[in-house]
Structure formats: structure tokens, C-alpha cells
Amino acid sequence: MGVVVLGGGVSGLSCAIRLREAGHAVQLWARELSPHTTSDVAAAIWYPYLASPKERVLRWGQRTLEVLHTLADRPETGVHMVRGTEVFTEPVRDPWWAPSVPGFRRATPGELPPGYTEGYAFEVPVIEMPRYLPFLQERFRALGGHLLQREVHALEEAWSVAPTVVNCTGLGARALVGDEALVPIRGEVLRVSPSPTGQFLLDDSETRGMAYVIPRATDCILGGTAEVGVDSLVPSASQAEGILARCRRLLPESTPLNVVEHKIGLRPGRPSVRLEAEQRADRRVVHNYGHGGAGVTLSWGCAEEVCALVEAGR
């Protein structure tokens, strides 16, 4: 079957790979390719963040975790298994996604930064997007897929080439299919080098804003923000100062933080992920967007469901 996948981020590339592996003739069209996609800005760590419904997210996330495990520590992928801690200043229950993560446990007092009283300790993949996205592109091409940089303004443009379209356009779906449920969730991060730690640290309960420290092979991502409905891509000096202040509370006193890059991305926020097939006469579109802050976390699970929906439409 001929299929056109729209979107050059992690969702589109993962879908294109799975469809090509299933034997379909696949073209991927993207307005932007790495390093200019929203996916490039992601921290990125396996963590179901700002995505629902929980039951489907858990299933997609579990499958993606399995696939990322198989890619971890292969130099060309940029995927590494990293241990770390999510910390809290008050009592909390285990998170709803805990059963997905082997070895998940409560943190010991010695694993908590000063001022924190509880935490979770676990090991999950950290994905270096500047390496991972080119790896996915090359994997798709090696499978015989065709990658085109092309902006699309209507589904009919893709349907003129293939009867089945997979819509992984993220926030672009607002204009492409008129989905007003989509909202931008602006995120700012700082890249520092060298990394101040070998373990990740997360604090989403920080009342003054979230804080996370995500170490990578040669640098580290500090974050972050989640401004719902804000679509500005202009860096904010005050936000950068706030990120540094919050992250310093997670690190040993006087830890040097050498900022080398300030990045902004717009997460595709939606009340629920849209993953469904839509039939229009003899044409078909499979939607896969609205992953919030969990695009990487859900990528392979969603891609495999997309592939099943495409197969069901034969």
C-alpha cells in the first residue's frame, strides 16, 4: 500500500519506519527536518508527561520503553539508560506509570537533595535528539523510504499521491485538519556543558516552576517551563534565570553551570492524544498527534498502533 506520512519529528519518523518494515511504500513529507523540529528541543527522557488518557498512554509508553531498551548504548542511536531520582518536599504516592518501569523504588534519604523528604529512584532511557533523529532518518532511508522536505496545506495534496495518509503534524494539525483542541505548551530549556551530574534529577512539584536536570553523553539539559497557550519562540532571559535557580536547588552547592545554548519548543498540547483512523470516501487518514510532553515516550507504541490501523484499512 502507498502511504504518505506527514511530519518529520519523532512521531512521524517512528511511524514511517514501522510502516516501511511492514512492506508499505512510504514517503515522509516534512516542512522541517532535524535539527529544526520541535522534537529536537526535547530533553528527552522517557516520562509520560502532559499526555492522556492514562490507559492508552501507559500501553504506548510501555511498548516504547521496550524498544528504547533495545537501542540503548548503541553509539549511533543517542539512547542511554540513565539512573536518577524524582524528588518531593511532601508525601506522595507512587505514580500511575510506576508498573511500567522495572526496578522502580522509593529513594533512600541519602539520594535526596537537601530540603527534599521523598522521592522515586528509577532507570529509564535518556535520548539525545540531535543524534536520535538523524539515526531514525537514516534507518528509514535504509529501509527504502523516501524523505521529502515539503510543506503541506491540505490532506488532498498527500492523497493525490497515496490513498492513505498518516498525520503526525503535531501543532500543525490545528491548521491542517482544523483541530481547535490543540494548544501550544511552550517549553524553554538550557544546554550546559560539561554535565554537572551523571544522574537525572526531576522536580515537577516545585511551586516556583518545574526543575529537571537531564545528563547526556557530553552535555546536560536543564529545564524547564510549561506555558499553556503561549506560542512565542523568543528566548526569555528571566525564564533562563529561573531555570538556573531551580536546578541549582537540585545540585550540590556551588556546582558550575556553563550555559552553551538556550532553546525553545512548543509542545502539542491536547486534552487527549488523537490516534484514530478517519475514512473519507475511498481515502483514509490515520491521525497521530497531541502527545503533549511525551512524544518520544509514546513514539514506538503509537507507531505500532498506527501501523495496525493502516493494515486494517486495506
Q: Which residues are annotated as a binding site for FAD?
A: 38-39, 152, 169, 292-297
Dihedral angle over CA of 68, 74, 289, 209, nearest 10: 80
SS3 150: coil
Binding-site members are 38-39, 152, 169, 212, 267, 292-297
Q: How many residues does the chain have?
A: 314
Residues 6+ apart with CB under 8 A from 32: 8, 149
What cell numbers appear for 151 in the block? Answer: 510543506
What cell numbers appear for 266 in the block? Answer: 512548543
Helices (H), the chain: 10-21, 54-71, 129-142, 155-159, 173-176, 237-248, 295-312
Tell me how far apart the alpha carbons of residues 64 and 70 are, in angstroms, rounded to a whole number.
Answer: 10
Q: What is the 3-state secondary structure (H, E, C) of 37-86?
A: CHHHHCCCECCCCCCCCHHHHHHHHHHHHHHHHHHCCCCCCCEEEEEEEE
Q: Which of 131, 54, 39 is nearest to 96 (CA)?
A: 54
Provide the residue type at 47 as one letter: Y
**CB–CB of 310/3 below 8 Å?**
yes
260: left (phi over 0), alpha (psi -120 to 50) or beta: alpha
Binding-site members for D-dopa are 212, 267, 293
SS3 188: strand
